[in-house]
Structure 1
Amino acid sequence: MSLAGPDSALSADPATVFDFVPATFPPTPTTELYLKKETVFSSFAIGLSPRDKALVAATQRAAAFGGLNDKSGVPAWKTIPSWYLIGAKDKIIPPKAERAMAERAGSTITEYGGGHLGLMSEPKTVTQEIERAARASAHR
């Protein structure tokens, strides 16, 4: 959650962004979180059709409340090259925060016009960047 930053749609009151299962407060580290349908439609699934947004909302996997604030281990980008796609319309991890993370990692950066779900909204762009990264990695 700290990576998303204050400009993220997720920085609002969690009760307005997530459904908690079980719906007991305060949540425990194992409480499951699901994005509210409104959050999926307005922020998470930008660039998708209403039908695809509904599909994303209905089929999302839960995130554990405790996992959203856990620190990760040693980042892979410290020892291997990385590439980063920045979605100019991303409301979950705003482009400014994405750029800061990508620059810190020394990533090869590409911006595209999509939101958070570039794999779905901009599959050609994402595929091209994966292929570009694979070619560059093969020549190292």
Structure 2
Amino acid sequence: MQSVVSRPTVRRFICDAADRPRRTFADPFARLTTPYARFTTWLDYVLERIGLALARRAGARLTDQLGFRVRRMTLLRRIMALPAPQSSTPRVLGVNDFATRRGQAYSTVSTRGETHRVVDVLPPRYSAPLAE
């Protein structure tokens, strides 16, 4: 594994206006990183994709093979920091029941008809929670 150190040069500007609260300004690195960040914007994106695809342990193994060396909890924190996906009311709703324990406990799952993604899992197998 090889370490890389980047030392970018930052241009500083001085403002002569007396009514400004700040006198010096610097070029922002908006596309490269954010202030006080430990990872670049690109590496953040890559870690989020790996975390979403492979989750904790498998994702940590892949990052180790790629040379990033990121722990599994770092991937989990990246996933948990993502905003929740916006969900709209499904146009077509699929409903099915399934056994959580063979022949003893049942639950109801509702899915989007077009994408077959899970909307909600309801604990009992009765129609009242589904109607709500």
Give the TM-score, by structure 2 length.
Answer: 0.18
Give the structure with the larger strand fraction.
2
Which structure: greater helix fraction?
A: 1
Pick 1 or 2: higher relative contact order, CA cutoff 8 A, min separation 6.
1
Task: Provide TM-score, normalisation by structure 1.
Answer: 0.18
Which one has a bigger Cα radius of gyration?
Answer: 2
